[in-house]
Amino acid sequence: MTATWSQIKKWAPEALHDAAEELRSIEDKLIDLGDDLVKVEPTHWTGTAADGAKKELTAIGEVLEDRMTEVAAVRRGLLTAHDAVTGIQSLVADIIDFAASNELSIDAEGTVTDVKEPEGGAGIVVDKTYIPPERDPHNLELAAEERQRLVDKCVTMIEAVLRRAGYLDQELTHVLNNGVLSGELARMDAPDLETAAQDGDNWRKPDVYPPPEGKGTPDLNSAYWNSLSPSEKLKVILGHPEWINNRDGIAADARDAANRVLLPRYLAEWERKLRDAEAEQLRIVTEHADAGLSGYPSQELSDAYSRYQEARDKVDSLKMAEKLIDRDGVSMDGKAVEKDDKQLLALDLSQERAQVAIATGDVDVAENVAVFTPGLSSNAKTIDGYDTDMKNLRERSAALLVKNGDALTQEAALDNVATVVWLGYQSPQTTPDSLFNLTGDSVASAKSASDGGKNLAEFYSGITASRDDDVNLTALGHSYGSTTTGYALQQNDTGVDRVGFFGSPGISVDDLGKLDVPSHSSFYAEADGDAVGDFATFGKDPTKIDGMTHINTDAAKLANGEGLSGISGHTSYLKDGSTNQYNLANLVIGEPNALITGWSGPPLGEVLRGF
């Protein structure tokens, strides 16, 4: 019979532990009985009666060994169940707290109801600005969608508990029915009691509870992870890191730990593939050295070179990731490095080019999280420049928190900011194929942005799903990455609070109401001399979209006398100490009212286009 929500709430892991301890004492008694059998075994007694006694004692010993095997198997099953129920009860407590804090009701069968009173004519506060609902129906629509998302998340969490409980019930039933009642454990014929105990403990030992099939949804993945006990989580990280390293909704520290387990394995594997590819090319060239051009196997060599290029790219990407996540002041090769508090949140080698996501700061606890998506020519093997940009943006954001009185020290402020470079898609490269082939990963095609946008939306949702609190989440996108960001924000339930586009060839929509962000929360920067921003390749020129707030990129001076440098062209939007960096930092900490907006004059491209 399947357990119900009300029954599971009453499960007590202590009872399972106590039962396991009782069985432990029975094992000790069986050992004592085995010792007694040795003592009474006839040594100087011979004859028919003695032989009969020895036979009976042997039979009793076999019975003791059979019982020992069964008791050990059941005891191990109970301990495994105790560990699992500990994780289940932790998730149950989270669900009850989640429902209470969000004004949701859960009945005995696990049905979730939204019991929050309608807000009626109340407005919505967006980034500390009051927006009357009659003036902004988009925000009311988002608020309604958010209420439904909370209900759906609570339902998903309860379903995860029921699924976990069902799996546990099957595992324990398997031990009792297939092991004890079927007689399978008794037929193992251990030679002694110690071996019998080991056989029982190792009999069909279950693996740790697996994650949902496929990628799973962020909410489902989060519920799965939270249903595991601490020891089960450790078993997954060490024994099955590939289950969670790229799974959106899993806690950032766990994904980071799993990727740190996998990285040296992947590096060894791809270094071997690189050596094999180099050897294959050499073999082909050597074997056909005298063949001449007409007899040269050009296709075979071309295929071999493609395999070499892929292996070279993967090795370089993995080495770059290894370099960037060095922490604690000592690198993997023993050299002193600067401590940066990195988290490796994604490490996907399933595509032509490696896909990674690297955070600076703790995404699990920082109140303010920004996810930056770069564009054309960005790749995992050259991600270090963007990583430095995000480190600098984090430090500027933290400094603003101190300036605003939201943190006492820079160190404390840094704990409240995390920035992520997200390269979880196949961004177009500056290769002839990418520039001129309009299919596949071409900069002239929206396919990479559309495909990548789906992945990015799940990454956003995964951050919010993995946390118990309401994180202040900012999306940032540059160039083709802004197009990818636009596609991502057309998905529902991203949890993004505001978005900053810069140097964009188009954000994939002409109406900001199609984006899953509150009204008055979309911002755009276009520097003088940035022709890319005038292309309007993927939708209307962002400077002409109604409701878009324009960010100034010119040189400026703050009230405290600090000077900010201006930028120009397409590649300097993240320049340290620039006006644009200052503006983006204000977005990151949720202070759009502090932005330096507008521009001293429209960029030249806009003038030529008749702005």
pLDDT at 64 exceeding the cut of 70: yes
Picking from 183-187, 392-396, 498-502, 545-549, which range would have the lowest pLDDT averaged per residue? 183-187
Could you give the CA distance from residue 382 to residue 158 in angstroms, rounded to a whole number?
43
Question: If residue 395 lies in a helix (H) or strand (E), which one and from where to where?
Answer: helix 384-403
pLDDT at 329 exceeding the cut of 50: no
For 294-327, how does the pLDDT look when each residue is reduced to its tens digit (9 = 90+)? 566 678 888 999 999 999 999 999 999 999 997 4
Picking from 33-42, 327-336, 343-352, 377-386, which range would have the lowest pLDDT averaged per residue? 327-336
Q: What is the pLDDT of residue 118?
A: 63
Mean pLDDT value of segment 497-504: 96
- Find which of 127-136, 167-176, 548-557 is predicted with most confidence, using mean pLDDT: 548-557
pTM, whole model, 2 decimals? 0.84
pLDDT at 291 exceeding the cut of 70: no
What's the mean pLDDT when you consider all of the chain? 87
Q: What is the pLDDT of residue 33?
A: 83
For 387-443, how does the pLDDT look when each residue is reduced to its tens digit (9 = 90+)? 999 999 999 999 999 999 999 999 999 999 999 999 999 998 877 666 555 555 666
Q: What is the pLDDT of residue 430?
A: 77
Residue 183's Cβ-count burial label (10 Å; 0-12, 13-18, 19+) is exposed
**What percent of the chain shows pLDDT beyond 70?**
88
For 87-124, how does the pLDDT look when each residue is reduced to its tens digit (9 = 90+)? 999 999 999 999 999 999 999 889 999 988 765 444 54
Those residues with Cβ within 8 angstroms of residue 258's Cβ, 6 or more apart along the chain or in another chain: 236, 237, 241, 242, 243, 244, 245
CA distances from 439 to 353, 377, 448, 507 (A): 17, 17, 10, 19
Q: What is the pLDDT of residue 127?
A: 55
The more confidently predicted of residues 599 and 107 is: 107
pLDDT at 70 exceeding the cut of 80: yes
pLDDT at 470 exceeding the cut of 70: yes
Q: What is the pLDDT of residue 332?
A: 44
Mean pLDDT value of segment 356-366: 97
Q: What is the pLDDT of residue 286?
A: 84
Q: Residue 521: name the closest of 193, 154, 247, 127 by CA.
A: 127
- Collapsed DSSP state (helix, strand, coil) of residue 383: coil
